[in-house]
Chain A
Protein backbone atom coordinates (compact mmCIF):
# COMPACT_ATOMS: atom_id res chain seq x y z
CA UNK A 1 0.00 0.00 0.00
CA UNK A 2 2.71 2.45 0.92
CA UNK A 3 5.66 3.92 -0.85
CA UNK A 4 7.77 0.83 -0.26
CA UNK A 5 5.66 -1.26 -2.67
CA UNK A 6 6.43 1.13 -5.50
CA UNK A 7 10.16 0.87 -4.91
CA UNK A 8 11.80 -1.96 -6.84
CA UNK A 9 13.87 -4.32 -4.67
CA UNK A 10 13.74 -2.04 -1.68
CA UNK A 11 16.09 0.68 -2.79
CA UNK A 12 15.81 3.91 -4.60
CA UNK A 13 18.24 6.03 -6.55
CA UNK A 14 18.31 9.76 -6.22
CA UNK A 15 20.79 12.58 -6.15
CA UNK A 16 22.39 13.87 -3.01
CA UNK A 17 20.90 17.28 -3.81
CA UNK A 18 17.37 15.94 -3.94
CA UNK A 19 17.83 13.93 -0.79
CA UNK A 20 19.30 16.86 1.12
CA UNK A 21 16.59 19.14 -0.19
CA UNK A 22 13.93 16.67 0.84
CA UNK A 23 15.34 16.43 4.33
CA UNK A 24 15.81 20.14 4.72
CA UNK A 25 12.40 21.13 3.53
CA UNK A 26 10.71 18.75 5.91
CA UNK A 27 12.63 19.78 8.97
CA UNK A 28 12.35 23.51 8.81
CA UNK A 29 12.38 25.07 12.26
CA UNK A 30 11.24 28.67 12.41
CA UNK A 31 12.67 31.13 14.92
CA UNK A 32 10.12 33.18 16.80
CA UNK A 33 10.71 36.62 15.53
CA UNK A 34 7.44 38.33 16.22
CA UNK A 35 7.58 42.09 15.96
CA UNK A 36 4.15 43.60 15.37
CA UNK A 37 0.70 42.85 14.00
CA UNK A 38 1.95 40.07 11.72
CA UNK A 39 3.30 38.23 14.75
CA UNK A 40 -0.25 37.72 15.98
CA UNK A 41 -1.23 36.16 12.68
CA UNK A 42 1.94 34.08 12.87
CA UNK A 43 0.83 32.90 16.30
CA UNK A 44 -2.57 32.07 14.86
CA UNK A 45 -0.78 29.88 12.33
CA UNK A 46 1.36 28.36 15.03
CA UNK A 47 -1.47 27.53 17.38
CA UNK A 48 -3.59 24.59 16.40
CA UNK A 49 -6.73 26.70 16.25
CA UNK A 50 -7.59 26.59 12.58
CA UNK A 51 -4.50 26.74 10.42
CA UNK A 52 -2.21 24.27 12.16
CA UNK A 53 1.28 24.67 10.82
CA UNK A 54 2.21 21.31 12.35
CA UNK A 55 0.80 19.68 9.23
CA UNK A 56 4.07 20.76 7.64
CA UNK A 57 6.23 19.69 10.54
CA UNK A 58 6.99 23.22 11.65
CA UNK A 59 4.92 23.84 14.73
CA UNK A 60 7.95 24.04 16.99
CA UNK A 61 8.92 27.70 16.89
CA UNK A 62 12.40 27.80 18.33
CA UNK A 63 13.15 30.52 20.79
CA UNK A 64 16.89 30.27 20.33
CA UNK A 65 18.25 31.22 16.92
CA UNK A 66 20.91 28.51 17.12
CA UNK A 67 18.22 25.86 16.78
CA UNK A 68 16.33 27.56 13.99
CA UNK A 69 16.86 27.81 10.28
CA UNK A 70 13.93 29.93 9.16
CA UNK A 71 13.41 33.49 10.30
CA UNK A 72 9.92 34.83 9.73
CA UNK A 73 10.30 38.58 10.12
CA UNK A 74 6.75 39.31 11.19
CA UNK A 75 6.21 43.03 11.38
CA UNK A 76 7.82 46.43 11.01
CA UNK A 77 11.54 46.64 11.72
CA UNK A 78 12.56 49.85 13.41
CA UNK A 79 16.01 51.36 13.25
CA UNK A 80 16.47 50.38 16.86
CA UNK A 81 15.55 46.76 16.17
CA UNK A 82 17.62 46.33 12.99
CA UNK A 83 20.95 45.54 14.71
CA UNK A 84 19.18 43.04 16.96
CA UNK A 85 17.62 41.39 13.95
CA UNK A 86 20.96 41.14 12.20
CA UNK A 87 22.59 39.63 15.26
CA UNK A 88 19.90 36.99 15.48
CA UNK A 89 20.29 36.23 11.80
CA UNK A 90 24.04 35.86 12.24
CA UNK A 91 23.50 33.51 15.15
CA UNK A 92 21.37 31.16 13.09
CA UNK A 93 23.29 28.21 11.66
CA UNK A 94 23.45 27.91 7.89
CA UNK A 95 21.60 26.90 5.78
CA UNK A 96 19.02 29.48 6.77
CA UNK A 97 16.13 31.25 5.11
CA UNK A 98 14.19 34.42 5.68
CA UNK A 99 10.55 35.23 5.01
CA UNK A 100 9.68 38.93 5.07
CA UNK A 101 6.11 38.69 6.34
CA UNK A 102 3.86 41.60 5.57
CA UNK A 103 4.22 44.91 3.77
CA UNK A 104 6.32 46.55 6.48
CA UNK A 105 8.99 43.85 6.56
CA UNK A 106 9.03 43.67 2.76
CA UNK A 107 9.19 47.36 1.93
CA UNK A 108 8.46 49.53 4.94
CA UNK A 109 4.80 49.46 4.03
CA UNK A 110 2.80 52.53 4.89
CA UNK A 111 5.40 53.74 7.38
CA UNK A 112 7.74 55.65 5.12
CA UNK A 113 9.36 57.68 7.89
CA UNK A 114 12.33 58.22 10.16
CA UNK A 115 11.71 55.24 12.41
CA UNK A 116 11.22 52.27 10.15
CA UNK A 117 13.73 50.36 8.02
CA UNK A 118 12.32 50.45 4.50
CA UNK A 119 12.35 46.72 3.95
CA UNK A 120 14.17 44.12 5.99
CA UNK A 121 16.23 43.26 2.90
CA UNK A 122 18.40 46.22 3.84
CA UNK A 123 19.53 44.15 6.82
CA UNK A 124 19.29 40.46 5.89
CA UNK A 125 18.87 38.58 2.59
CA UNK A 126 15.23 37.68 2.03
CA UNK A 127 13.99 34.54 0.29
CA UNK A 128 10.24 35.13 0.23
CA UNK A 129 8.38 38.41 0.30
CA UNK A 130 4.86 38.01 1.61
CA UNK A 131 2.51 40.93 0.94
CA UNK A 132 -0.46 41.88 3.08
CA UNK A 133 -1.11 44.07 6.08
CA UNK A 134 -1.19 41.70 7.84
CA UNK A 135 -1.22 38.69 5.51
CA UNK A 136 -3.87 36.11 6.26
CA UNK A 137 -2.64 32.95 7.95
CA UNK A 138 -3.34 31.07 4.74
CA UNK A 139 -0.98 33.41 2.93
CA UNK A 140 1.75 32.66 5.43
CA UNK A 141 1.17 28.94 4.92
CA UNK A 142 1.38 29.46 1.17
CA UNK A 143 4.63 31.39 1.55
CA UNK A 144 6.05 28.59 3.64
CA UNK A 145 5.02 25.98 1.06
CA UNK A 146 6.65 28.05 -1.68
CA UNK A 147 9.77 28.22 0.43
CA UNK A 148 9.62 24.44 0.84
CA UNK A 149 9.66 23.91 -2.89
CA UNK A 150 12.49 26.40 -3.20
CA UNK A 151 14.51 24.53 -0.61
CA UNK A 152 13.70 21.21 -2.29
CA UNK A 153 15.17 22.40 -5.56
CA UNK A 154 18.22 23.97 -4.01
CA UNK A 155 21.52 22.87 -5.56
CA UNK A 156 24.64 21.91 -3.69
CA UNK A 157 28.39 22.27 -4.16
CA UNK A 158 29.65 23.55 -7.50
CA UNK A 159 26.11 23.65 -8.90
CA UNK A 160 25.14 26.00 -6.14
CA UNK A 161 28.16 28.21 -6.72
CA UNK A 162 27.25 28.31 -10.39
CA UNK A 163 23.66 29.30 -9.65
CA UNK A 164 24.72 31.98 -7.20
CA UNK A 165 26.99 33.40 -9.87
CA UNK A 166 24.20 33.40 -12.43
CA UNK A 167 21.73 34.99 -10.07
CA UNK A 168 24.18 37.70 -9.12
CA UNK A 169 24.93 38.40 -12.76
CA UNK A 170 21.22 38.60 -13.53
CA UNK A 171 20.73 40.98 -10.63
CA UNK A 172 23.58 43.16 -11.84
CA UNK A 173 22.11 43.33 -15.32
CA UNK A 174 18.53 43.74 -14.20
CA UNK A 175 16.76 46.91 -15.15
CA UNK A 176 16.42 49.26 -12.20
CA UNK A 177 12.84 49.76 -11.12
CA UNK A 178 13.00 53.42 -12.12
CA UNK A 179 13.52 52.34 -15.73
CA UNK A 180 10.72 49.80 -15.73
CA UNK A 181 7.72 51.11 -17.52
CA UNK A 182 5.18 48.39 -16.90
CA UNK A 183 1.90 49.26 -18.54
CA UNK A 184 3.16 52.74 -19.36
CA UNK A 185 5.56 51.38 -21.99
Chain B
Protein backbone atom coordinates (compact mmCIF):
# COMPACT_ATOMS: atom_id res chain seq x y z
CA UNK B 1 0.00 0.00 0.00
CA UNK B 2 1.45 3.34 -0.96
CA UNK B 3 1.46 6.20 1.49
CA UNK B 4 -0.35 9.31 0.28
CA UNK B 5 2.15 12.09 -0.24
CA UNK B 6 0.49 15.45 -0.81
CA UNK B 7 3.71 16.91 -2.16
CA UNK B 8 4.43 14.25 -4.79
CA UNK B 9 4.77 15.66 -8.33
CA UNK B 10 2.12 13.26 -9.61
CA UNK B 11 -0.18 10.54 -8.39
CA UNK B 12 -2.64 8.17 -9.96
CA UNK B 13 -6.31 8.42 -9.18
CA UNK B 14 -9.50 6.92 -10.55
CA UNK B 15 -9.77 10.03 -12.73
CA UNK B 16 -6.31 9.52 -14.24
CA UNK B 17 -2.94 10.94 -13.29
CA UNK B 18 -3.02 14.09 -11.19
CA UNK B 19 0.00 16.39 -11.41
CA UNK B 20 0.78 18.91 -8.71
CA UNK B 21 2.37 21.98 -10.22
CA UNK B 22 4.33 23.75 -7.55
CA UNK B 23 6.34 26.17 -9.60
CA UNK B 24 8.74 23.66 -11.13
CA UNK B 25 9.71 23.09 -14.72
CA UNK B 26 6.70 23.60 -16.96
CA UNK B 27 8.33 22.18 -20.07
CA UNK B 28 8.83 18.75 -18.60
CA UNK B 29 5.29 18.76 -17.31
CA UNK B 30 3.83 19.74 -20.65
CA UNK B 31 5.87 17.01 -22.29
CA UNK B 32 4.68 14.43 -19.84
CA UNK B 33 1.05 15.39 -20.27
CA UNK B 34 1.50 15.47 -24.04
CA UNK B 35 2.81 11.92 -24.06
CA UNK B 36 -0.40 10.59 -22.57
CA UNK B 37 -3.37 10.04 -24.81
CA UNK B 38 -5.61 12.03 -22.47
CA UNK B 39 -7.27 14.97 -24.25
CA UNK B 40 -9.11 16.28 -21.26
CA UNK B 41 -7.12 18.32 -18.79
CA UNK B 42 -8.54 19.47 -15.49
CA UNK B 43 -6.79 22.46 -13.99
CA UNK B 44 -7.28 23.53 -10.43
CA UNK B 45 -6.93 27.27 -9.99
CA UNK B 46 -6.71 28.57 -6.48
CA UNK B 47 -7.62 28.93 -3.68
CA UNK B 48 -4.24 30.64 -3.53
CA UNK B 49 -3.91 32.29 -6.88
CA UNK B 50 -3.38 35.94 -7.74
CA UNK B 51 -6.12 36.23 -10.34
CA UNK B 52 -9.44 35.24 -8.84
CA UNK B 53 -10.44 37.69 -6.16
CA UNK B 54 -9.27 36.31 -2.85
CA UNK B 55 -9.51 32.66 -1.94
CA UNK B 56 -11.71 31.45 -4.75
CA UNK B 57 -11.00 28.04 -6.17
CA UNK B 58 -11.85 27.32 -9.78
CA UNK B 59 -11.78 23.80 -11.18
CA UNK B 60 -11.55 24.07 -14.95
CA UNK B 61 -11.90 21.36 -17.48
CA UNK B 62 -9.96 22.34 -20.56
CA UNK B 63 -9.66 21.27 -24.12
CA UNK B 64 -6.65 23.12 -25.31
CA UNK B 65 -7.31 26.71 -24.32
CA UNK B 66 -11.08 26.33 -24.29
CA UNK B 67 -12.94 25.88 -21.06
CA UNK B 68 -15.46 23.07 -21.32
CA UNK B 69 -16.49 23.06 -17.70
CA UNK B 70 -15.89 25.49 -14.89
CA UNK B 71 -16.73 24.95 -11.26
CA UNK B 72 -16.18 27.30 -8.40
CA UNK B 73 -15.12 26.04 -5.01
CA UNK B 74 -15.80 28.33 -2.10
CA UNK B 75 -15.78 28.19 1.66
CA UNK B 76 -12.10 28.92 2.22
CA UNK B 77 -13.00 32.03 4.17
CA UNK B 78 -16.02 30.73 6.05
CA UNK B 79 -15.96 32.60 9.32
CA UNK B 80 -19.14 31.52 11.06
CA UNK B 81 -20.29 35.13 11.43
CA UNK B 82 -23.98 34.22 11.28
CA UNK B 83 -23.61 31.72 14.10
CA UNK B 84 -21.36 33.99 16.14
CA UNK B 85 -23.97 36.74 16.08
CA UNK B 86 -26.45 34.50 17.87
CA UNK B 87 -24.27 34.89 20.95
CA UNK B 88 -23.92 38.67 20.83
CA UNK B 89 -26.32 41.49 21.52
CA UNK B 90 -28.11 43.29 18.71
CA UNK B 91 -25.78 46.26 18.91
CA UNK B 92 -22.69 44.07 18.87
CA UNK B 93 -24.04 42.49 15.69
CA UNK B 94 -22.92 45.47 13.62
CA UNK B 95 -19.33 44.69 14.58
CA UNK B 96 -19.69 41.27 13.02
CA UNK B 97 -21.61 42.10 9.87
CA UNK B 98 -19.19 44.85 8.94
CA UNK B 99 -16.49 42.21 8.52
CA UNK B 100 -18.45 40.06 6.09
CA UNK B 101 -18.06 41.82 2.79
CA UNK B 102 -15.05 43.86 3.77
CA UNK B 103 -15.15 46.10 0.71
CA UNK B 104 -18.61 47.39 1.53
CA UNK B 105 -18.83 47.39 5.33
CA UNK B 106 -21.38 50.19 5.52
CA UNK B 107 -23.83 48.34 3.30
CA UNK B 108 -23.67 45.28 5.52
CA UNK B 109 -24.29 47.42 8.57
CA UNK B 110 -27.14 49.31 6.99
CA UNK B 111 -28.89 46.15 5.76
CA UNK B 112 -28.58 44.65 9.21
CA UNK B 113 -29.75 47.79 10.98
CA UNK B 114 -32.70 48.27 8.64
CA UNK B 115 -33.78 44.72 9.42
CA UNK B 116 -33.41 45.21 13.17
CA UNK B 117 -35.30 48.50 12.98
CA UNK B 118 -38.08 46.77 11.07
CA UNK B 119 -38.28 44.15 13.82
CA UNK B 120 -38.34 46.86 16.46
CA UNK B 121 -40.95 48.78 14.49
CA UNK B 122 -38.94 52.00 14.59
CA UNK B 123 -38.25 52.39 10.89
CA UNK B 124 -40.17 55.67 10.86
CA UNK B 125 -38.50 56.93 14.04
CA UNK B 126 -34.96 56.91 12.72
CA UNK B 127 -33.98 60.59 12.55
CA UNK B 128 -33.63 62.10 9.12
CA UNK B 129 -30.08 63.21 9.77
CA UNK B 130 -29.10 59.62 10.57
CA UNK B 131 -30.62 58.42 7.30
CA UNK B 132 -28.85 61.14 5.33
CA UNK B 133 -25.53 60.27 6.94
CA UNK B 134 -26.14 56.62 6.13
CA UNK B 135 -26.83 57.47 2.50
CA UNK B 136 -23.74 59.63 2.27
CA UNK B 137 -21.53 57.00 3.87
CA UNK B 138 -22.96 54.26 1.69
CA UNK B 139 -22.34 56.21 -1.47
CA UNK B 140 -18.79 56.99 -0.40
CA UNK B 141 -18.41 53.31 0.28
CA UNK B 142 -19.80 52.49 -3.15
CA UNK B 143 -17.03 54.59 -4.64
CA UNK B 144 -14.29 52.87 -2.67
CA UNK B 145 -15.77 49.45 -3.42
CA UNK B 146 -16.11 50.11 -7.15
CA UNK B 147 -12.59 51.48 -7.12
CA UNK B 148 -11.18 48.24 -5.76
CA UNK B 149 -13.33 46.30 -8.23
CA UNK B 150 -12.01 48.34 -11.14
CA UNK B 151 -8.43 48.40 -9.91
CA UNK B 152 -8.11 44.71 -9.17
CA UNK B 153 -10.14 43.79 -12.23
CA UNK B 154 -7.78 45.77 -14.43
CA UNK B 155 -4.76 44.36 -12.63
CA UNK B 156 -5.99 40.82 -13.17
CA UNK B 157 -6.31 41.52 -16.87
CA UNK B 158 -2.77 42.86 -16.92
CA UNK B 159 -3.24 46.62 -16.63
CA UNK B 160 -1.33 47.90 -13.63
CA UNK B 161 -1.74 51.68 -13.80
CA UNK B 162 -5.55 51.73 -13.24
CA UNK B 163 -4.92 49.99 -9.94
CA UNK B 164 -2.65 52.82 -8.76
CA UNK B 165 -5.27 55.41 -9.62
CA UNK B 166 -8.04 53.31 -8.09
CA UNK B 167 -6.25 52.92 -4.79
CA UNK B 168 -5.43 56.61 -4.76
CA UNK B 169 -9.15 57.40 -4.91
CA UNK B 170 -9.90 54.75 -2.34
CA UNK B 171 -7.48 56.41 0.06
CA UNK B 172 -9.40 59.68 -0.27
CA UNK B 173 -12.61 57.90 0.73
CA UNK B 174 -10.95 55.99 3.54
CA UNK B 175 -9.58 59.23 4.96
CA UNK B 176 -13.16 60.51 5.16
CA UNK B 177 -14.29 57.29 6.85
CA UNK B 178 -11.47 57.62 9.33
CA UNK B 179 -12.38 61.21 10.08
CA UNK B 180 -16.02 60.32 10.69
CA UNK B 181 -15.92 56.92 12.36
CA UNK B 182 -12.32 56.58 13.48
CA UNK B 183 -11.67 53.54 11.34
CA UNK B 184 -10.62 53.01 7.76
CA UNK B 185 -12.43 49.72 7.35
CA UNK B 186 -14.83 47.59 9.42
CA UNK B 187 -16.15 50.66 11.19
CA UNK B 188 -19.40 49.44 12.80
CA UNK B 189 -20.63 52.99 12.35
CA UNK B 190 -24.28 52.34 11.53
CA UNK B 191 -26.15 51.13 14.58
CA UNK B 192 -29.73 49.97 15.09
CA UNK B 193 -31.67 53.22 15.49
CA UNK B 194 -29.26 55.59 13.76
CA UNK B 195 -25.54 56.01 13.54
CA UNK B 196 -22.88 55.73 16.21
CA UNK B 197 -22.05 59.44 16.39
CA UNK B 198 -22.56 62.69 14.56
CA UNK B 199 -20.16 64.01 11.95
CA UNK B 200 -17.11 65.70 13.44
CA UNK B 201 -16.61 69.42 13.10
CA UNK B 202 -15.57 70.57 9.67
CA UNK B 203 -16.51 67.29 8.03
CA UNK B 204 -18.84 68.72 5.41
CA UNK B 205 -16.36 71.14 3.79
CA UNK B 206 -13.74 68.40 3.77
CA UNK B 207 -16.09 65.97 2.04
CA UNK B 208 -17.04 68.65 -0.48
CA UNK B 209 -13.38 69.12 -1.26
CA UNK B 210 -12.88 65.37 -1.61
CA UNK B 211 -15.85 65.14 -3.98
CA UNK B 212 -14.35 67.84 -6.15
CA UNK B 213 -10.98 66.09 -6.12
CA UNK B 214 -12.47 62.72 -6.95
CA UNK B 215 -14.50 64.09 -9.82
CA UNK B 216 -11.27 65.37 -11.31
CA UNK B 217 -9.34 62.18 -10.53
CA UNK B 218 -11.88 59.81 -12.03
CA UNK B 219 -10.91 61.16 -15.43
CA UNK B 220 -7.50 59.48 -15.11
CA UNK B 221 -8.95 56.01 -15.14
CA UNK B 222 -11.55 56.96 -17.73
CA UNK B 223 -8.90 58.14 -20.17
CA UNK B 224 -6.81 55.06 -19.47
CA UNK B 225 -9.49 52.46 -20.04
CA UNK B 226 -12.61 53.70 -21.80
CA UNK B 227 -12.10 53.11 -25.49
CA UNK B 228 -8.67 51.61 -24.93
CA UNK B 229 -8.39 49.02 -27.71
CA UNK B 230 -6.46 46.45 -25.64
CA UNK B 231 -8.93 46.78 -22.79
CA UNK B 232 -11.88 46.46 -25.14
CA UNK B 233 -10.42 43.36 -26.78
CA UNK B 234 -10.08 41.75 -23.37
CA UNK B 235 -13.57 42.71 -22.19
CA UNK B 236 -16.01 43.11 -25.08
CA UNK B 237 -18.19 40.08 -25.69
CA UNK B 238 -16.58 38.30 -22.74
CA UNK B 239 -18.56 36.84 -19.86
CA UNK B 240 -21.89 37.08 -21.70
CA UNK B 241 -24.97 36.65 -19.53
CA UNK B 242 -28.35 37.89 -20.70
CA UNK B 243 -31.49 38.86 -18.81
CA UNK B 244 -32.98 35.36 -18.81
CA UNK B 245 -29.75 34.01 -17.37
CA UNK B 246 -29.67 36.70 -14.73
CA UNK B 247 -33.24 36.17 -13.53
CA UNK B 248 -33.01 32.42 -13.39
CA UNK B 249 -29.75 32.64 -11.47
CA UNK B 250 -31.08 35.37 -9.20
CA UNK B 251 -28.38 37.80 -10.23
CA UNK B 252 -28.64 41.47 -9.32
CA UNK B 253 -26.43 44.52 -9.32
CA UNK B 254 -24.20 45.70 -12.19
CA UNK B 255 -24.38 42.27 -13.84
CA UNK B 256 -28.17 42.53 -14.11
CA UNK B 257 -28.00 46.15 -15.20
CA UNK B 258 -25.54 45.22 -17.95
CA UNK B 259 -28.44 43.40 -19.63
CA UNK B 260 -30.31 46.68 -19.97
CA UNK B 261 -32.79 46.22 -17.10
CA UNK B 262 -32.66 49.31 -14.88
CA UNK B 263 -33.20 47.37 -11.66
CA UNK B 264 -31.77 49.26 -8.73
CA UNK B 265 -33.33 48.90 -5.29
CA UNK B 266 -32.47 52.52 -4.53
CA UNK B 267 -35.05 53.47 -7.17
CA UNK B 268 -37.41 50.48 -7.12
CA UNK B 269 -37.80 49.92 -3.39
CA UNK B 270 -36.27 52.99 -1.77
CA UNK B 271 -34.88 52.84 1.76
CA UNK B 272 -33.10 55.43 3.90
CA UNK B 273 -34.88 58.15 1.93
CA UNK B 274 -33.32 57.38 -1.45
CA UNK B 275 -36.55 58.54 -3.11
CA UNK B 276 -35.53 62.14 -2.29
CA UNK B 277 -32.32 62.07 -4.28
CA UNK B 278 -31.82 62.75 -7.96
CA UNK B 279 -29.70 60.17 -9.67
CA UNK B 280 -29.78 57.94 -12.72
CA UNK B 281 -29.73 54.19 -12.85
CA UNK B 282 -26.89 53.29 -15.18
CA UNK B 283 -27.43 50.45 -17.59
CA UNK B 284 -25.68 48.89 -20.56
CA UNK B 285 -27.09 46.59 -23.20
CA UNK B 286 -24.03 44.55 -24.03
CA UNK B 287 -24.36 41.88 -21.28
CA UNK B 288 -20.56 41.62 -21.20
CA UNK B 289 -17.58 42.55 -19.07
CA UNK B 290 -17.10 45.86 -20.82
CA UNK B 291 -20.69 46.84 -20.14
CA UNK B 292 -20.31 46.07 -16.45
CA UNK B 293 -17.08 48.02 -16.38
CA UNK B 294 -18.81 51.05 -17.92
CA UNK B 295 -21.69 50.74 -15.44
CA UNK B 296 -19.28 50.85 -12.51
CA UNK B 297 -17.40 53.79 -13.99
CA UNK B 298 -20.60 55.78 -14.48
CA UNK B 299 -22.06 54.84 -11.12
CA UNK B 300 -19.13 56.65 -9.54
CA UNK B 301 -20.41 59.93 -10.92
CA UNK B 302 -23.96 59.15 -9.74
CA UNK B 303 -22.61 58.42 -6.27
CA UNK B 304 -20.88 61.80 -6.24
CA UNK B 305 -24.19 63.43 -7.18
CA UNK B 306 -25.95 61.71 -4.29
CA UNK B 307 -23.18 62.67 -1.88
CA UNK B 308 -23.50 66.34 -2.88
CA UNK B 309 -27.25 66.27 -2.33
CA UNK B 310 -26.73 64.54 1.00
CA UNK B 311 -24.25 67.22 2.04
CA UNK B 312 -26.80 69.94 1.21
CA UNK B 313 -29.36 68.15 3.36
CA UNK B 314 -26.88 67.72 6.19
CA UNK B 315 -26.14 71.43 6.24
CA UNK B 316 -29.85 72.09 6.74
CA UNK B 317 -30.09 69.41 9.44
CA UNK B 318 -27.17 70.73 11.48
CA UNK B 319 -27.56 69.76 15.12
CA UNK B 320 -30.43 67.33 14.57
CA UNK B 321 -30.25 63.98 16.39
CA UNK B 322 -28.55 61.01 14.77
CA UNK B 323 -30.08 58.33 16.98
CA UNK B 324 -33.66 57.42 17.82
CA UNK B 325 -35.11 59.30 20.75
CA UNK B 326 -36.09 56.10 22.55
CA UNK B 327 -33.48 55.80 25.27
CA UNK B 328 -34.30 52.14 25.68
CA UNK B 329 -32.63 51.54 22.33
CA UNK B 330 -30.22 54.40 21.81
CA UNK B 331 -26.80 54.01 23.34
CA UNK B 332 -26.94 56.12 26.49
CA UNK B 333 -23.84 58.23 26.16
CA UNK B 334 -23.16 60.75 23.46
CA UNK B 335 -19.68 59.74 22.46
CA UNK B 336 -16.94 62.32 22.84
CA UNK B 337 -13.23 61.98 23.17
CA UNK B 338 -12.34 62.13 26.85
CA UNK B 339 -9.08 63.13 28.44
CA UNK B 340 -8.16 59.47 28.76
CA UNK B 341 -8.48 59.00 25.03
CA UNK B 342 -11.55 56.84 25.42
CA UNK B 343 -14.78 57.71 23.74
CA UNK B 344 -17.21 58.39 26.52
CA UNK B 345 -18.48 61.77 27.52
CA UNK B 346 -17.28 62.86 30.94
CA UNK B 347 -20.45 64.84 31.50
CA UNK B 348 -22.49 61.71 31.02
CA UNK B 349 -20.31 59.71 33.41
CA UNK B 350 -20.51 62.50 35.98
CA UNK B 351 -24.27 62.55 35.70
CA UNK B 352 -24.85 58.82 36.02
CA UNK B 353 -22.24 58.28 38.70
CA UNK B 354 -23.06 61.31 40.79
CA UNK B 355 -26.69 62.19 40.40
CA UNK B 356 -28.89 59.44 39.09
CA UNK B 357 -28.84 55.84 40.23
CA UNK B 358 -31.50 54.99 37.68
CA UNK B 359 -29.38 56.34 34.83
CA UNK B 360 -26.49 54.23 36.00
CA UNK B 361 -28.60 51.09 36.15
CA UNK B 362 -30.09 51.90 32.78
CA UNK B 363 -26.68 52.45 31.26
CA UNK B 364 -25.39 49.23 32.74
CA UNK B 365 -28.35 47.17 31.60
CA UNK B 366 -28.36 48.58 28.11
CA UNK B 367 -24.65 48.07 27.58
CA UNK B 368 -24.26 44.63 29.14
CA UNK B 369 -27.64 43.13 28.36
CA UNK B 370 -28.76 45.14 25.37
CA UNK B 371 -32.32 45.79 24.26
CA UNK B 372 -35.03 43.25 23.58
CA UNK B 373 -36.32 42.92 20.06
CA UNK B 374 -39.88 41.64 19.58
CA UNK B 375 -40.16 38.15 18.13
CA UNK B 376 -40.62 37.77 14.41
CA UNK B 377 -38.73 37.51 11.20
CA UNK B 378 -38.00 40.12 8.57
CA UNK B 379 -36.06 40.50 5.37
CA UNK B 380 -34.49 43.85 4.53
CA UNK B 381 -32.75 44.33 1.20
CA UNK B 382 -30.54 47.13 -0.02
CA UNK B 383 -28.56 47.76 -3.20
CA UNK B 384 -24.95 47.04 -2.38
CA UNK B 385 -22.22 47.67 -4.99
CA UNK B 386 -22.56 44.02 -5.96
CA UNK B 387 -26.33 43.67 -6.00
CA UNK B 388 -29.13 42.91 -3.61
CA UNK B 389 -27.83 42.48 -0.11
CA UNK B 390 -30.58 41.02 2.04
CA UNK B 391 -30.59 40.56 5.78
CA UNK B 392 -32.87 37.81 6.99
CA UNK B 393 -33.23 38.24 10.73
CA UNK B 394 -35.21 36.09 13.15
CA UNK B 395 -35.77 37.23 16.70
CA UNK B 396 -37.23 35.27 19.59
CA UNK B 397 -37.84 38.38 21.65
CA UNK B 398 -34.45 38.21 23.30
CA UNK B 399 -31.47 40.51 23.44
CA UNK B 400 -29.63 38.52 20.80
CA UNK B 401 -30.56 37.47 17.27
CA UNK B 402 -32.13 34.02 17.09
CA UNK B 403 -30.93 33.52 13.56
CA UNK B 404 -29.10 35.75 11.15
CA UNK B 405 -28.78 35.05 7.50
CA UNK B 406 -27.35 37.26 4.83
CA UNK B 407 -28.34 36.96 1.23
CA UNK B 408 -24.99 37.98 -0.15
CA UNK B 409 -24.88 39.21 -3.73
CA UNK B 410 -21.32 37.93 -4.15
CA UNK B 411 -22.34 34.44 -3.07
CA UNK B 412 -25.28 34.35 -5.42
CA UNK B 413 -23.60 36.01 -8.38
CA UNK B 414 -20.56 33.79 -8.28
CA UNK B 415 -22.83 30.97 -9.43
CA UNK B 416 -22.79 32.62 -12.84
CA UNK B 417 -19.11 31.78 -13.39
CA UNK B 418 -19.81 28.59 -15.40
CA UNK B 419 -22.53 30.28 -17.45
CA UNK B 420 -20.24 33.18 -18.26
CA UNK B 421 -17.06 31.28 -19.00
CA UNK B 422 -17.82 27.83 -20.38
CA UNK B 423 -16.98 27.68 -24.06
CA UNK B 424 -14.63 30.64 -23.78
CA UNK B 425 -10.90 30.88 -23.31
CA UNK B 426 -9.09 30.27 -20.04
CA UNK B 427 -7.82 33.82 -19.92
CA UNK B 428 -11.36 35.19 -20.20
CA UNK B 429 -12.50 33.49 -17.00
CA UNK B 430 -10.46 36.04 -15.11
CA UNK B 431 -12.29 38.89 -16.78
CA UNK B 432 -15.67 37.25 -16.22
CA UNK B 433 -15.04 36.65 -12.51
CA UNK B 434 -13.65 40.15 -12.09
CA UNK B 435 -16.81 41.60 -13.65
CA UNK B 436 -18.96 39.77 -11.09
CA UNK B 437 -16.72 41.37 -8.47
CA UNK B 438 -17.16 38.72 -5.80
CA UNK B 439 -15.71 39.47 -2.39
CA UNK B 440 -14.88 36.20 -0.74
CA UNK B 441 -15.57 37.53 2.72
CA UNK B 442 -19.13 38.06 1.57
CA UNK B 443 -19.34 34.79 -0.33
CA UNK B 444 -18.28 32.65 2.60
CA UNK B 445 -19.29 34.84 5.54
Interface of A toward B, CB cutoff 8 Å = 32-37, 39-41, 43-44, 47-50, 61, 63-67, 75-76, 78, 80-81, 84-85, 87-88, 90-91, 110-116, 133-134, 136
Contacts and interface: CB of A to CB of B under 8 A. Distances in A.
B163 interface: yes
A87 B48 CA distance: 10
Q: 6 closest pairs, A vs B, by CB?
A: A66-B23, A115-B80, A37-B102, A49-B167, A63-B50, A64-B23
Secondary structure of the B side of the interface? Answer: loop
B99 interface: yes
Contacts of A136: 184
B102 A76 contact: no
A35 B55 contact: yes
A136 B96 CA distance: 19
Given A113-B80, A113-B83, A81 B22 contact: no
Interface string B162-196: 01100110110000000000001110000000000
Contact of A47 (B49, B79, B163, B444): B163
Q: For A37, A41, A90, which residue has the most chain B Cβ atoms within 10 angstroms?
A: A37
Nearest to B7: A90
B84 interface: yes
14 contacts: A36-B79, A36-B102, A37-B99, A37-B102, A41-B185, A43-B152, A44-B170, A80-B75, A80-B76, A81-B77, A84-B48, A111-B84, A115-B80, A116-B80
Nearest to B152: A43
A81 B171 contact: no
Given A36-B79, A76-B79, A115-B80, 14 more contacts: A32-B48, A32-B50, A33-B48, A40-B148, A44-B171, A65-B23, A66-B24, A67-B23, A87-B6, A87-B7, A110-B99, A111-B79, A113-B83, A133-B186
A133 B184 CA distance: 10
B78 A115 contact: yes
Given A67-B23, A91-B23, A78 B77 contact: yes
Nearest to A67: B23
B217 to A, nearest CB: 11
Nearest to B99: A37
B168 A50 contact: yes
Interface in B87-111: 95-96, 99, 102-103
Contacts of A87: 6-7
Q: For B24, B96, B99, which residue has the most chain A Cβ atoms within 10 angstroms?
A: B99
Contact of A113 (B84, B184, B440): B84
B363 to A, nearest CB: 23
Nearest to B161: A48
Contact of A35 (B50, B77, B103): B77
Contacts of A36: 54, 77, 79, 99, 102, 440-441
A41 B174 CA distance: 11
B221 to A, nearest CB: 13
Nearest to A112: B84
Contacts of A32: 48, 50
B378 interface: no
A134 B185 contact: yes
A113 B79 CA distance: 8
B167 A84 contact: no
Given A37-B185, A87-B6, A75 B77 contact: yes
B103 A110 contact: no
Contacts of A41: 184-185
B81 interface: yes
